Amino acid sequence: MTQKRGIVAEDLMELKSVGEVDLSPDGSKYAFVETKIDKDKHEYVSHIFVGHVIGGEPVQWTYGDVRDTSPKWSPDGKYISFVSTRSGKSQIYLLSAEGGEARQLTNCKNGARNPIWSHDSSTILFTTSLAPNQQITDINNQKKDEKKALEPMVVERIRYKSDSVGFLDDKRQHLALINVKTMQLTQLTEGDFDYTPGCWSPDGTQITFSADLTDEPDFNLVSDVYILSIADKSVNKLTNSNGVFGEVTWSPDGTFIAMIGHEKEYDSATLSKIWIYDVLNKELRCLTANWDVQIGDVAIGDFHSGNSNPGIIWTDDSKGFYFVMSDHGNTGVYYGSIEGEMYPSLLENQHIYTLSVDSKNHKAVVGISTPTHPGDLYLIDLSTGELKQLTYSNDHFLANIELSSAEPITFKAPDGWDIHGWVMKPVFFEEGKLYPTILEVHGGPHAMYANTYFHEFQVLTAKGYAVVFTNPRGSHGYGQEFVDAVRGDYGGRDYLDVMAAAEYAETHLNFVDKSRLGITGGSYGGFMTNWIVGHTNKFKAAVTQRSISNWLSFYGVSDIGYFFSGWEVKGDLVTDAEKLWKHSPLRYVENIETPLLILHGEKDYRCPIEQAEQLFIALKKQKKPTKFVRFPGANHELSRSGNPKLRIDRLNHIKDWFVEYLG
């Protein structure tokens, strides 16, 4: 028998991710995306697979060194639409349900995405980017190696860049239709706005979309839901320009429109709720106003990417629906009724990261991940909870790998609040031995560590470290008061929560070596790492990733800084600069003695690299132990969906720093 080993950073190249699942209309088959890494090119490759729910190996339907994503069955079951990069830009393609070659459906100049079938399977609603002088009929004829002329960039809007796409141009995301048989294109929207598609009305005469069509979208920061008539392109607004709403679905009988959103009562810390719009009476009401949970999947991980929340999935009788919610480190599937009753269909210690429902037969295919299972697809009977595994994507590779499980812990913060988290023992743990221990802090801060696979954690436990990760106040999953408690108090009680986790590890885990504690985190977790080493010398080594060090400069350089600073820190560069400086780790840089590794992506526009540069120079000027690693071309998503080689390099830098200073 082969001796098992712990996992290493490079094993990321061997692991496959399965997700973006879609059940066929009759519930007999499921299409999904399998993503893996081309080990020679260090690039992601995604393909469409189709399987039968009764069993058997899923069959690969698309091939090539491309990204094939977003598979959707036509309602008549004859086709699968998907998005592919095979032509050089993302375009929509069709596959016959009987197999064969894919047919390119769109050839839009700036690509096409987000295909949504009409109920009669004749037409697909999709999005494409258009400049003011472009038409939907303009085709993509730009060669891959064609270079644009060098031009100065003129900026007039406060929102002129985005971490996901970089610097914004004058293109806007618009809605369009394409007839599957005739290939006729119809542009539905226009103007200097971005539109997100929602769904079709059951009779096919209308579609829904979400957008901010207010006079000052850069300042109002809302998302309204609209109904658009296809015949005359008239629109009807369903929400009140006072919140963020989206993920819209229409009930099969046409009487209700469901959506997920909130009215920004707590700005970015507001829990998302389920809302129902009565089409006949033109009334909008919140179904979960008194339910203190977050609707949707907000779990933090570093393995799965590209999966989106499924929204509200109606049952055939239009009396109820299924949805995903997040609670206490888990995501689960719930059933809700139009009267507002909510019942769990699947809620275990696990992460549901993708979902497709056979509403007629109350069955579903779900993607499930746990700390020791990267993720696979399962068929679930939503009435009985019975599970049947459909894919075994990583079983062969993991057969010789030893993974560390995550054991839940709960402890008290200094003010008595309960804080929840997990501890992972080192791989091949030996009773009676003391181990260096690393405390992990997640980003957000309005997100949630969960019972899901985390490659970074497994790499560290395989190297002989214990890992402690928790959800301090500010995290989702523990109610509205808990998630809101961090705003205006960054580095206050949230800092005490994280330190309470370290104290718990020292006093309750007899295998923790108190003299060899490390800490790391990214984004908000990077802020907290910077803050902690400026306020205590408890930790022998620290790694800060894509962090915030200076709220004063963050205000003007981050793509969200001008509003996030007010929402979260409750300070403003113009009217209350001292508040921003008070909560800036850079203010306390003179106190830092802990050896600090600084990791940052050079194309990070969410927490721009100047945040790392300021911290590094301030430390080096004082001759403090530090090192700065810059990742070329990487944005804020480096650890999750960044270049595979750079993701591996990042993990090894983290591991090597702790090896150097913790042993």
Q: Give the residue numbers marked as catalytic.
A: 523, 636
Q: What is the CA radius of gyration of the chain?
A: 25
CA distance 542 to 526: 10
Neighbours of 12 (CB within 10 A): 18
Name the strands in the sheet holding 256-262, side by side, starting at the edge strand that comes first in the sequence: 244-250, 256-262, 273-278, 283-286
b/e for 464-494, b at 16 or more Cβ within 10 A? bbbbbbbbbbbbbbbbbebbbbbbebbbebb
Which is it for the CA torsion 330, 285, 195, 446, positive or negative? negative
Taking phi over 0 as left and psi of -120 to 50 as alpha, with beta for the rest, 393 belongs to alpha
Closest to 471 measured CA to CA, from 367, 330, 270: 330
Give exposure, 242-273, as e/b (b: 16+ Cβ within 10 Å).
Answer: ebbbbbbbbbbeebbbbbbbbbeebbbbbbbb
**Does residue 374 have a cis bond before it (omega within 30 degrees)?**
no
Q: Which of 114, 146, 149, 116 is nearest to 129 (CA)?
A: 114
Tokens found for residue 182: 């005739």
- Quick one: angle between helices 644-662 and 455-462, nearest 10? 40
- 84, two tokens: 């592919």
Q: How far apart are CA 370 and CA 330, in angstroms?
A: 10
Q: Name all contacts of 139-144 with Cβ < 8 Å and 24+ positions apart.
A: 139/107, 139/108, 139/109, 140/87, 140/88, 140/89, 140/91, 140/107, 140/108, 140/109, 140/110, 140/111, 141/109, 142/88, 142/109, 144/88
| Full DSSP string of 168-205 | --S-EEEEEEEETTT--EEE---SS--EEEEEE-TTSS
Alpha-carbon distance of 16 to 33, in angstroms, equals 10
Distances from the Cα of 64 to the Cαs of 24, 86, 321, in angstroms? 24, 8, 38
Nearest partner of 104 among 88, 119, 118, 117, judged by Cα: 88
Of the candidates 289, 283, 242, the one whose C-alpha atom is nearest the C-alpha of residue 263 is 242
Phi-psi region of 652 (alpha: psi -120 to 50; beta: other; left: phi over 0): alpha
**Whole-number Å distance between alpha carbons of 380 and 27:** 12
Q: Are 278 and 256 in contact (CB under 8 A)?
A: yes
Bridge partners (DSSP) of residue 250 are: 257
CB atoms within 10 A of CB 113: 20
Contact criterion met (CB below 8 Å) for 362 and 382: yes
CB count in 10 Å sphere of residue 60: 11
DSSP states along 27-62: SSEEEEEEEEEETTTTEEEEEEEEEETTSS--EE--
